[in-house]
């Protein structure tokens, strides 16, 4: 149970960092006076990175869950 709580703590901490840095990043993009497409592209790249991280974590977590269920059956 301890590792699950640590994982939740890490997720909340990283989410807070993102909540602090995102408005700063957005302000910097607006100050550069880039086109609207470039602004959307910058955030799309960050979203793709986040989606890949979630997918990686989900794959690892599902393997851990399967291993735990196998141990209970034995």
Share of the chain above pLDDT 90, in %: 23
Average pLDDT over residues 50-68: 74
Q: What is the pTM of this model?
A: 0.59
The number of C-alpha atoms within 13 Å of 39 and in the hemisphere containing its C-beta is 14
In three state form, how does the secondary structure of the chain look? CHHHHHHHHHHHHHHHHHHHHHHHHHHHHHHCCCCHHHHHHHHHHHHHHHHHHHHHHHHHHHHHHHHHHHHHHC
Can you read off the two tokens belonging to residue 49?
């990175």
């Amino acid at each position: 149970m301890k590792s699950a709580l640590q994982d939740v703590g890490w997720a909340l901490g990283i989410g807070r960092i993102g909540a602090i840095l995102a408005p700063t990043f957005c302000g910097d993009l607006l100050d550069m006076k880039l086109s609207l497409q470039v602004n959307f592209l910058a955030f799309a790249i960050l979203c793709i990175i986040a989606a890949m991280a979630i997918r990686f974590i989900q794959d690892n977590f599902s393997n851990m869950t399967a291993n735990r269920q196998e141990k209970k059956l034995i």
